[in-house]
Amino acid sequence: MSYKKFDQTDLEAIKNIVKDEERILYAKNINEEYSHDELGGASSYPDVVVKATSAEEISEIMKYAYENNIPVTPRGAGTGLVGSSVAIEHGIMIDSSLMNHILELDEENLTITVEPGVLLMELAAYVEDHDFFYPPDPGEKTASIGGNVITNAGGMKAVRYGLTRDFVRCMEAVLPDGSIMNFSSNVVKNTTGFDVKDLVIGSEGTLCILTEVTLKLLPAPTCSSTLVMPFRSLEECADMVPKVLDLPFVPTAIEFLERELIDIVERSLHKLFPVKHGEAVLIVMYDASSKEELDRAVEAAAEAALENGALDCNIAGTPERAASVWEVRGAILEGMKADSVAQEECDVVVPRSEIAEYVKQAKKIASAHGIRVEPCGHCGDGNIHTEMLRGPEMSDEEWKKATHESLTELYALSKKLGGQLSGEHGIGNGRLDFLEEFAGPRMIELYKSIKRAFDDKLILNPGKMIKIDEN
């Protein structure tokens, strides 16, 4: 696409809309963090960053961008891993981090309405203080709710509770032409027309800019417990997953970690994992409404683990002990950054029965290209994070070539095993080249039609999720 190059006239127009120059970053005043996301793969600076404070302000900016054919990139906390919030075509970046207010807690209808810049950890703490529970639990707790919704991030508790999509009641958003729209309403059931809300969720900011969202809450669980089951091998660990799921108690989360990855976090970040033996560990969490129910679930899982090859079954029954387990699990990305020169991630999802086979083959693939790989993941739903680490001996060109070749083979492996391209991190610009292989040409044409229906000038977050070449 050919877009208008942002110039001084455009800057003055933005200043006239915002009327607060402290919230406008231009040229050399744009912080380096705005040029990339968490992994830092793709890098490109916007021409201007606007720290928006309202839907009306975003609407006026979008109207101007639409009239003048200027690309716009929405951005939340910038914790994405596939380049979804990187301004590939430069232009205007709209930062929603100042739209961080909790607007309403509706205790009768069990919902909460928030602005998109509210952080996941802030939301979780707020509802917990009111004896409620918001289940979606992506590993990065400093991610914004807007980012979670627009990528449909699931996290660790999706096994029992589902994805972010399952907790979105309704939303307000700004379309590329500046229109402010409301999708769905705060009701439990709704079959009134097409469910555009669910289409927008997971669209990675390519269809609209989220400005307000109402989320479903649950009563807070009365009690919970975490079990850590060490195994001699990853294969034995993965084989335990269907056995846990066959029990009469639904787990909240099922995660696996190999010992090498635990060692990285302990060594690099000085965090301590409470279980020191086993080449792989299965981490299982249960929530319950009573201690009796929880005890039955824990006892059944522990017995099943020991009967199926677990070296031990450690019960982290106190909040403090459970926190030490989940703190290590949540620090994986931070640990990798501290232990390597650069990182790349392959976020596939495969049938649960294929987890062990995928991990085994993934290690062979990465090793053949000279890359150290550390898989982990949400094995309760088959979402495997294949963490690739660059060593200091690799040049930039070697790393780029090795990761591309590895990703190509890893995605082919996922497809062969009946899996998909991404479980929760999305497509962004980093996975564009692989999407058609999974979706097929007819689905790609549908994606393009949807994009054009929302964004006929293709100005909103261009170069992400779907590739449309028009001049």
CATH number at 102-219: 3.30.465.10
Number of continuous H segments (helices) and E segments (strands) in the chain: 15, 18
- pLDDT average, residue stretch 382-392: 89
CB 308 within 8 A of CB 243: yes
- pLDDT average, residue stretch 282-307: 96
Percentage above 90 pLDDT, the chain: 78
- pLDDT average, residue stretch 234-259: 92
Strands 223-231 and 280-288: antiparallel
CB 408 within 8 A of CB 348: no
Q: Over the chain, what is the mean pLDDT?
A: 93
The band of 373, judged by pLDDT with boundaries at 50, 70 and 90, is confident
Q: What is the 3-state secondary structure (H, E, C) of 270-304?
A: CCCCCCCCCCEEEEEEEEECCHHHHHHHHHHHHHH
> Tens digits of per-residue pLDDT, 172-221?
999 999 999 999 988 888 888 899 999 999 999 999 999 999 999 999 99
Higher pLDDT, 392 or 125: 125
Higher pLDDT, 227 or 334: 227
DSSP state of 221: P
User: Which pLDDT belongs to residue 190?
Assistant: 84
Tell me how far apart the alpha carbons of residues 426 and 429 are, in angstroms, rounded to a whole number. 9
User: Which pLDDT belongs to residue 470?
Assistant: 63
Residues in the chain: 471
> Tens digits of per-residue pLDDT, 88-121?
999 999 999 999 999 999 999 999 999 999 999 9
Q: In the numeric block, which tokens belong to residue 348? A: 């596939």
Rounded to 5 degrees, what are φ and ψ at 289?
A: -90, -5
* Lowest-confidence segment of 75-89, 204-218, 376-390 by average pLDDT: 376-390
Element (H, E) at 305: helix 291-307
Helix/strand/coil for 373? strand
Percentage above 70 pLDDT, the chain: 99
- Supply the pTM of this predicted model: 0.93
Strands 102-106 and 111-114: antiparallel
27-53 b/e (C-beta count within 10 Å ≥ 16 → b): eeebeeebbbbbbbbbebbbbbbbbbb
> Tens digits of per-residue pLDDT, 11-20?
999 999 999 9
Tell me how far apart the alpha carbons of residues 151 and 383 are, in angstroms, rounded to a whole number. 15
Helix/strand/coil for 61? helix
CB 306 within 8 A of CB 313: yes
Among the CATH numbers 3.40.190.10, 3.30.70.2190, 3.40.50.300, 3.40.50.2020, which is that of 223-268+275-328?
3.30.70.2190
8-98, which class in CATH? alpha beta
The band of 424, judged by pLDDT with boundaries at 50, 70 and 90, is confident
- pLDDT average, residue stretch 283-305: 95
**Alpha helix (H) ranges present in 103-176?**
120-129, 145-151, 158-161
User: Which pLDDT belongs to residue 391?
Assistant: 84
CATH number at 340-428: 3.30.70.2740
* Res. 45: pLDDT tops 90: yes
Tell me how far apart the alpha carbons of residues 257 and 260 are, in angstroms, rounded to a whole number. 8
* Res. 1: pLDDT tops 80: no
Q: Name 135's bridge partners.
A: none
Tell me how far apart the alpha carbons of residues 110 and 68 are, in angstroms, rounded to a whole number. 43
Higher pLDDT, 388 or 55: 55
First to last CA, the chain: 5
Domain ranges of the chain: 8-98, 102-219, 223-268+275-328, 340-428
Helix/strand/coil for 416? helix
User: Which pLDDT belongs to residue 161?
Assistant: 94
Tell me how far apart the alpha carbons of residues 199 and 222 are, in angstroms, rounded to a whole number. 34
Tell me how far apart the alpha carbons of residues 436 and 77 are, in angstroms, rounded to a whole number. 29
Closest of 368, 348, 367 to residue 358, by C-alpha: 348
Element (H, E) at 226: strand 223-231
User: Which pLDDT belongs to residue 288?
Assistant: 93
Please list, in sequence order, all residues whose beta carbon lies within 8 angstroms of the beta carbon of residue 353, skipping any fewer than 6 positions away: 242
On the question of a common fold for 223-268+275-328 and 340-428, the answer reads yes
CA distances from 94 to 259, 270, 455 (A): 41, 37, 17
Please report where in the chains the tokens 């660790």 appear, as a residue.
Answer: 156
User: Which pLDDT belongs to residue 471?
Assistant: 54
